[in-house]
Amino acid sequence: MAGQKGVSRVVCVAAAVLLACAAQAGQSGTQQPAPAPQTTPQPPARNQASGGTTGKDTTGKSASKATEKASAQQAVAELLENKIRAAWKAFKDKDANAYAEFLADDLMAVEEDGGGERTKMKVLREVDDSVVRDFKLQLFRVDPIAPGAELVTYENFIQFPVTARPRFEKIFISEIWLKRAGEWKMWRYQATRVK
């Protein structure tokens, strides 16, 4: 019985508070008070690493990590594009020593001439025979394929001397660059002639 009196007293106090609030708002005591606003409980943030919940919002941290990752990828993309531009300049200038600095020792290259695979040594022997007069690199795309490995694709519009046939050539190039011992090197090269 004592428990029922306590419950009744709480109900009476709650009803009195509601009636007082209604009266203060200028409403009659016979109307029902406006329901309290409902809030939808939010599930706790998920901990991506463990698949569990952390109980706190990690959205800001996730966005920050995504931004850092995008910035790091952009820096790698710019670095590799600059290396490729420098490598083509070395090739055009017939500077085999400078060109070699960009190539992995186990390079395998397939060029648009149908001559099959070329090793690093064979590619370097061909540098002196280069007849590239000028080139225009464009449409770069750099995609990570594994930690320390990037696929770089781009287009090269090559100009040869006036007496050469063909005089111009457009090739689409795919390269895989690997980071070994802290240095990015071209590991695979594939060129395809396009119209």
Per-residue pLDDT of the chain (195 residues; tens, 9 = 90+): 444 444 344 333 334 333 333 333 444 444 444 444 454 445 444 444 444 445 555 567 778 888 888 889 999 999 999 999 999 999 999 999 999 999 999 999 998 877 789 999 999 999 988 888 889 999 999 999 999 999 999 999 999 888 878 788 899 999 999 999 999 999 999 999 888
Q: What is the pLDDT of residue 178?
A: 98
pTM: 0.66
Residue with tokens 């409403």: 27
CATH architecture of the domain with residue range 59-194: Roll (3.10)
HSE of 85, CA atoms in CB hemisphere, 13 A: 11
Q: What is the DSSP letter of 144?
A: E
Residues 4 and 138: their CA atoms lie apart, in Å, by 83
Q: What is the pLDDT of residue 15?
A: 40
Q: What is the pLDDT of residue 131?
A: 87
DSSP letter for each residue of 40-92: PPPPPPB-TTTSSB-SS--HHHHHHHHHHHHHHHHHHHHHHHHHHHHHHHHHH
Q: Which two tokens stand for residue 159?
A: 């100009």
Residues 65 and 155: their CA atoms lie apart, in Å, by 32
Residues 6+ apart with CB under 8 A from 91: 99, 127, 130, 132
Report the C-alpha dihedral over residues 27, 33, 39, 40, rounded to 10 degrees.
Answer: -140
Q: What is the pLDDT of residue 113?
A: 79
